[in-house]
Amino acid sequence: MMLLSGDPPRSRVLTIVLLVIILALAATPFIFPGAKAMNVAAKICIFAALVASYDLLLGYTGTVSFAHTMFYGIGSYAIAIALYTMGPNWGAVATGIVIGLPLAALLALAIGLFSLRVAAIFFAMITLAVASAFQVLASQMSWLTGGEDGRSFQLPDLLRPGTVLIPKSLIGFEFNGRTLTFYLVFVASTLMILALLRVVNSPFGRVLQAIRENRFRAEALGFRTVFHLTYANCLAALVAASAGILNALWLRYAGPDTSLSFSIMLDILLMVVIGGMGTIYGAIIGAAIFILAQNYLQSLMGVASKAAGEAGLPLLPGLLHPDRWLLWLGLLFIASVYFFPTGVVGRLRSGRAGKTSDAAH
């Protein structure tokens, strides 16, 4: 209870689902050997933290930001550039963290002070513009960022797959540097999500919710809404940058496609809405559903597309093509905004006949 900041999942099914996801993630190195399963599990961890930080903005303050991948990218690039230029040592990792996190927070502060004074819709447009400018900047400054190719780098010795920490003969599977990196990602993501739970259940988090429900009234009660919103924006940016750091460490690479592109932003939006806005737990569910779909739905769709093609149906093979999986998740996204705006978590919490109209607006 202390750990969850007094905000338990509040639904038996949800608790079970969350436990299953978390246990499966924790046990991935033992029970699902192979690189793909580890990649999927690490990505779920990283995205759960990233989406939870976005939920702090979207679900708890009701502001739509399109610049969240920018902060994610800042974290990724900071660590990648540091390790690339300084070589694979822990000093470089520390440098990346020390430069990346404050940079993300400062940028979030600047954007927040500049544009959070006005309506949510204005903020959304300005963040979109800033994020796309940053993307261009990152691909133009190729001497620093490697341009479109990005930067590949080596990890410190301890985290390399070649480093065997516990040999296979002892515990039945090899605990190497890669496994250690995985647990680093897992533990760091868990800590970030728990910290976010702490934030949203603090008095500060309550003020954020008050601002979401009625900004004018919150202001009338004496809260400096711009301060609170900017603070939330900076916190979210810090967590996003940390998730970016984990992402780069896991991939040993940072590039526009994996850490900066607008499609990641859309992915985050899909995950937070499908999982459930304003719940934090929704981030874990959303990330798990989305990334599993991304990795395994495609092969399913390939089969369906082939079947539709053999049946001679028009257009359907194209729509069911594995590359079009985002189309179906997009439809799911619209349906979930419309029909169950509190997402999977809200649905599970409110039971079958529950009202779901208490969503943010």
Nearest to 12 by CA among 354, 265, 360, 351: 351
Is 23 a residue that touches other proteins (CB under 8 A)? Answer: no
Q: Phi first, then psi: what are they for 150, rounded to 5°?
A: 75, -170
Which contiguous run of DSSP H or E holds residue 138? helix 120-140
Among 126, 245, 291, 308, binds other proteins (CB under 8 A): 126
Query: Which residue type is seen at 200?
Result: V
Instruction: Measure the CA angle with vertex 59, ends 348 and 41; round to 5°.
Output: 65
Report the nearest approach of other proteins to the CB of residue 9 (Å). 24
Q: Of 34-42, 125-133, 149-157, 216-224, which segment contacts other proteins by CB under 8 A? A: 125-133
Q: In DSSP terms, which residues pair with 166 in a beta bridge?
A: 175
Is 237 a residue that touches other proteins (CB under 8 A)? Answer: no
Among 49, 234, 273, 283, binds other proteins (CB under 8 A): 273
| Strand blocks (E) in 16-60 | none
Is 103 a residue that touches other proteins (CB under 8 A)? Answer: no
Nearest to 213 by CA among 275, 287, 143, 278: 278
Q: Of 43-51, 73-81, 177-185, 265-273, which segment contacts other proteins by CB under 8 A? A: 265-273
Nearer Cβ to other proteins (160/324): 324
Binding mask 129-168 for other proteins (x = CB under 8 A): xx-xx--xx--x----------------------------
66 token code pair: 């399109």
**Burial classification of residue 144, based on how many CB atoms lie within 10 Å of its CB (0-12 exposed, 13-18 middle, 19 or more buried):** middle
Is 227 a residue that touches other proteins (CB under 8 A)? Answer: no
Interface contacts to other proteins, rule CB under 8 A = 58, 62, 64, 114, 118-122, 124-126, 128-130, 132-133, 136-137, 140, 262, 266, 269-270, 273, 315, 318-319, 321, 323-324, 326-327, 329-331, 333-334, 337-338, 341, 359-361
